[in-house]
A and B are shown apart, each in its own frame.
Chain A
């Protein structure tokens, strides 16, 4: 874990453009944070929930024009109170290309029966333990309203179809 964090920090220094270009403080999180650290960065949650066994969730509404939507949903582990995933819901469709450099970003698809296939852009962060996922976009230049940062190990529970496709990578 410490080595991963070190490498992640080195990577951050090496590619400051990626995160410093995005004024959204959300993307300073690495999923190594506990609730206190998250609150210092993003503020306190509007709601909390303890639904998935062994986990608890925070729901934030930051700069959210529609107060009935959550701008951030964070899933923490009960055992060590560390983040498992962070979902960022943008109120307006948003260009997030700065978070998805062409090198290292690939598109995957979810398909259900006769429904049109639904794309996601995935960027595996350098240590491979984190997946940054832009929902519903196929290529650069397209806007999204939902971006997920999740531990790769958690994909099998929450996005199993993507975990399966990534396993082939």
Chain B
């Protein structure tokens, strides 16, 4: 539970910065002071160390806070920065109706100067929800391939070839807790790696303030409250910081709508992630860049908020970017034709009839890109929705989007370095409804994209590109075993059974489909053999049509999942992806405990200059500072250490 704001009657002043605020030298942040229980503010004095900031603050103005009737005021100094590294004490003192009130914060400022700039590139991969089990599932499916001679690439517990992410030499773990929840979302976790600071659920690069009660605690996220959604104190993200200070080229690639939370934390500032119209506008007129566009490359879905029809202000943001020289593509064929370094906007999916939402801050419909499984034309298992690409039949795979983004960003007059975020968004979006096939193949698509970046970086004349792969948060899938459900059962949509439990705490009703042995969905009894201690009845809770005919001693004879045996898939040589059907297939069996995120830590893997910084357990905000350190510090000694650890002198993992 979020601690309730104190309700004293005496005047008070509060600096709207978290207790543990950390910033880079020169990183922009809004300094906002809320003064409660006051009618007049005088004698304001604000200092940061020895620097007097008072003149930067606005005239204190009446501002209703906390949705109560007590008189309050606010004063703010936007887009401030601290240019001396070290611990800086920010002190505030003012007279509130004649009473002196004070507040202070200690801000840690890390050094980052032009003199230290290493002119390196960064590619940050975010597998949305890609916790440990999701990486494992992608490995077990895509690296358990049976060739024409019947040889499985996964034998005796070892893989012939590991995932691209597995081959990165440095790994660590990232803790993902937010300020108000140990189970975070993509917005506040994105804020953590993008700005180096934590925030509340749904926040995009901003801190909480006293009028959040108007919308955050009532759900009144609409046009009338949009001013209160957009007035929260902002903290600059690394993409704008590098472009503004060092002329970096910047990009976002995602399979979600490009205004979704994970891409948004690289380019916008808002208290609520669903303020999509404002987010899209900030991509074109970024507040940290004096109104210049945030990115040189934007690739993904979700065209609606960029169209006149989809916006309340009727601006054609696509046209505005084109007028500034951006190339605009809408298909994979169009993306393939792109060459050279001119900025690119690629929006590969939209709603059928763009229109503003009635709430006035988003669009009525919008569209993420279709998932890898559907783009590949694979048949969905019985419990998962059929593919529906609509008229968008030529959507690029994430590997192509990643390759083209890197090609464009790395081709610039003057050779500016770049920073790029690549997101596989539907690992999460498929995991919420427990669509195992959808989520696993999206993770495989993610890994192939990592391979594209690794291959590009390996060919560079100098080692100048840091690649980091992590997740924003974990989700609830786990690895259960394997299943040899035949295709006839796995894909059979005509066969289903309803299961109903009535208890004093409420009813549970769910439907079991033919792929149940491969996907123990949240709420269903587990289906493997050792379920005696399970709190939901184990196999005895399954409907009769799915009950075992006999206890199988040979796993090959069983149509249920089991701990025993190994997965076995065939590879489609044309696409390079495993297929999910065929004789002899033995599918990975997974289970979901919930349909939502979890608070578990997530893996981080890194390769390139500065990679060793990502070793060990870290907070998610450290990812921001470690990326910054890789760009602003001579990491030669660390890089040599990593090279040494990978040399023949020391043990090497099988398949790496």
Q: Which chain A residues have a beta carbon within 8 Å of chain B's beta carbons?
A: 43, 46-57, 59, 67-70, 72-73, 75, 85, 87, 89, 92-93, 110, 112, 115-116, 118, 120, 134-137, 142-146, 148, 156-162
Query: Which one, A46, A47, A145, A157, contacts B359 given CB within 8 A?
Result: A145
B-side contacts of A53, CB under 8 Å: 4-7, 66-68, 213
Considering the complex, which residues of chain B in the window 206-249 have a beta carbon less than 8 Å from any beta carbon of chain A?
212-214, 216-224, 227
- Inter-subunit contact B359/A135 (CB<8 Å): yes
Residues of A within 8 A of B506 (CB): 43
The 8 closest A-B pairs by CB, nearest first: A73-B219, A136-B358, A87-B219, A52-B213, A157-B67, A67-B432, A144-B358, A118-B223
Judged by a CB distance under 8 angstroms, whether B273 is at the interface is yes
Nearest B residue to A44 by beta-carbon distance?
A: B506
Q: Are B220 and A136 in contact (CB under 8 A)?
A: no
Interface segment among B23-31, B178-186, B632-640: the answer is B178-186
Contact yes or no, A51 B2, CB < 8 A: yes
Chain B contacts of A52 at CB under 8 A? 4, 66-67, 213, 217-218
With A73-B219, A158-B214: A54-B358 Cβ-Cβ less than 8 Å? no
Give the docked Cα–Cα distance between A112 and B261 (Å). 26
Which residues 284-340 of B sit at the A interface, judged by CB distance below 8 A?
312-313
- Contact assessment for A50 and B596 in the assembled complex, using a CB-CB cutoff below 8 Å: no
Q: Looking at the complex, which one of B185, B224, B596 makes contact with A159 (CB distance below 8 Å)?
A: B224
Pull 15 A–B residue pairs with CB atoms less than 8 Å apart, ordered by A: A46-B596, A50-B1, A50-B4, A52-B66, A52-B67, A53-B213, A68-B185, A68-B274, A73-B217, A75-B218, A115-B312, A118-B223, A145-B364, A146-B221, A159-B224
Q: Which residue of A lies closest to B183 (CB)?
A: A47
The count of residues in chain B whose C-beta lies closer than 8 Å to any C-beta of chain A is 46
B218, A136: Cβ atoms under 8 Å? no
- Determine whether the beta carbon of A145 is less than 8 Å from that of B220: no
> Does B3 have its Cβ within 8 Å of any Cβ on chain A?
yes
Q: Are B358 and A51 in contact (CB under 8 A)?
A: no
B2 CB contact (under 8 Å) in A43, A50, A145, A156: A50
Name the residue of chain B whose CB is nearest to the CB of A40: B506
Cα separation A108 to B54 with both chains bound (whole Å): 42
Known: A48-B1, A49-B216, A136-B360. 4 other contacts (CB 8 A): A52-B217, A53-B5, A116-B313, A145-B358
C-alpha spacing A46/B596, complex, angstroms: 9
Residue pair A56, B67 in contact (C-beta under 8 Å): no
Instruction: Report the nearest B residue to A117, measured CB to CB.
Output: B223
Residue from B2, B261, B364 within 8 A of A93 (CB atoms): B364
Residues of B within 8 A of A136 (CB): 222-223, 357-360
- The distance in angstroms between the C-alpha atoms of A140 and B541, with both chains bound, is 49
B126 at the interface (CB under 8 A from A): no
Q: Mark B353-365, 1 if CB is under 8 A from A, else 0.
A: 0000111100011
B595 at the binding interface (Cβ < 8 Å)? yes
Which A residues are CB-close (under 8 A) to B275?
none
Q: Which residues of A contact B212 (CB under 8 A)?
A: 51
B224 and A54 within 8 A (CB): no
Known: A118-B223, A136-B357, A146-B222. A68 touches B261 (CB 8 A): yes
For B212, the closest partner residue in chain A by CB is A51
Q: Which residue of A lies closest to B364 (CB)?
A: A93
Min CB gap A36→B, angstroms: 12
Pick from B1, B68, B274, B358: contact of A137, CB under 8 Å: B358
Chain A, Cβ-Cβ closest to B362: A145
Residues in B whose Cβ lies below 8 Å from that of A70: 219
- Are A143 and B4 closer than 8 Å at their CB atoms? no
In the assembly, what is the distance between CA of A158 and CA of B225, in Å? 9
Contact of A118 among B6, B219, B224 (CB under 8 A): B224
Q: Which of A49, A59, A68 has the most CB of B within 10 A?
A: A68
Q: Roughly how many angstroms separate A146 CA and B215 CA in the complex, as a whole number?
A: 13
Over the window 524-562 of chain B, the binary record of Cβ atoms lying under 8 Å from chain A Cβ atoms (1 yes, 0 no) is: 000000000000000000000000000000000000000
Contact at A54–B217, with CB atoms within 8 Å?
Answer: no
* B67 proximity list for chain A (CB < 8 A): 52-53, 157-158
Shortest Cβ gap from B439 to chain A (Å)? 13
Closest partner residue, chain A, to B358 (CB atom): A136
Whether, in the assembled complex, B201 has its beta carbon less than 8 Å from a beta carbon of chain A, the answer is yes
CB distance from B199 to the nearest CB of A (A): 14
Contacts of A55 in B (CB 8 A): 213, 217
Tell me whether A146 and B359 are in contact (CB under 8 A). Answer: yes
Main secondary structure of the interface of B (DSSP, over half): loop
Given contacts A51-B217, A56-B1, contact A146 B7 (CB under 8 A): no
Q: How far is the CA of A110 from the CA of B2 in the complex (A)?
A: 31
Q: Is the CB of B220 within 8 A of A148?
A: yes
Q: Report A46 CB to chain B, min CB distance, Å.
A: 7
Whether A161 contacts B358 in the complex (CB less than 8 A), given A50-B2, A54-B7, A68-B261, comes out as no
In the bound complex, CA of A168 to CA of B64 (Å):
22
Instruction: Tell me the complex Cα distance, A39–B286, Å.
Output: 43
A51, B214: Cβ atoms closer than 8 Å:
no
Instruction: Contact check, A146 vs B217: say whether CB atoms are below 8 A apart.
Output: no
Chain B CB within 10 A, most for which of A51, A67, A116: A51
Interchain CA distance A120-B223 in the complex, whole Å:
11
A46-B596, A67-B596 as given contacts; A89 in contact with B219, CB under 8 Å: yes
Q: How far is the CA of A157 from the CA of B64 in the complex (A)?
A: 9
Residues from 599 to 641 in B contacting A, C-beta threshold 8 Å: none
B360 partner residues in chain A, CB cutoff 8 A: 118, 135-136
Name A56's closest neighbour in chain B (CB-CB).
B1
Question: Could you tell me if B218 and A85 are in contact, using CB atoms closer than 8 angstroms?
Answer: yes
**Closest CB in chain A relative to B426 CB, distance in Å:** 12
- Chain A residues with CB under 8 Å of B223's CB are 110, 112, 115, 118, 136
A118 CB, nearest partner CB in chain B, Å: 4
- CB within 8 Å for A135 and B222 given contacts A52-B67, A68-B261, A145-B357: yes
- The answer for the CA separation of A53 and B313 in the assembled complex, in Å, is 35
B312 touches A116 (CB 8 A): yes
B-chain residues with CB within 8 Å of residue A50 when the two chains form the complex = 1-4
Question: What residues of A have a CB within 8 angstroms of the CB of B432 in the complex?
Answer: 67
Docked Cα-Cα span, A70 to B221, in Å, equals 11
Flag if A73 contacts B218 (CB, 8 Å): yes
Which residues of the other chain, A, contact B312 by a CB distance below 8 angstroms? Answer: 115-116, 118
Which residue of chain A has its CB nearest to the CB of B359? A146
CA distance A24 to B261 in the complex (A): 29
A146 to B224, CA, bound (A): 13
**Chain B nearest Cβ from A74, distance in angstroms:** 8
Tell me the bound Cα distance from A118 to B595 in angstroms.
36
Residues of B within 8 A of A85 (CB): 218
Shortest Cβ gap from A76 to chain B (Å): 10
- B2 x A87 contact (CB < 8 A): no
Do residues A67 and B213 form an inter-chain contact, with CB atoms below 8 A?
Answer: no
A43 to B181, CA, bound (A): 21
B509 to chain A, nearest CB (A): 13
Question: Of B3, B222, B273, which is in contact with the most chain A CB atoms at under 10 Å from its CB?
Answer: B222
Alpha-carbon gap, A161 to B274, bound state (A): 23
Question: CA–CA, A118 to B361, complex, Å?
Answer: 11
Q: Which of A48, A67, A143 contacts B358 (CB 8 A)?
A: A143
Question: Which residue of B is nearest A60, CB measured?
Answer: B219
In the assembly, what is the distance between CA of A157 and CA of B210, in Å?
13
Using CB atoms, name the residue of chain B closest to A71.
B219
B56-72 interface with A by 8 A CB criterion: 64, 66-69
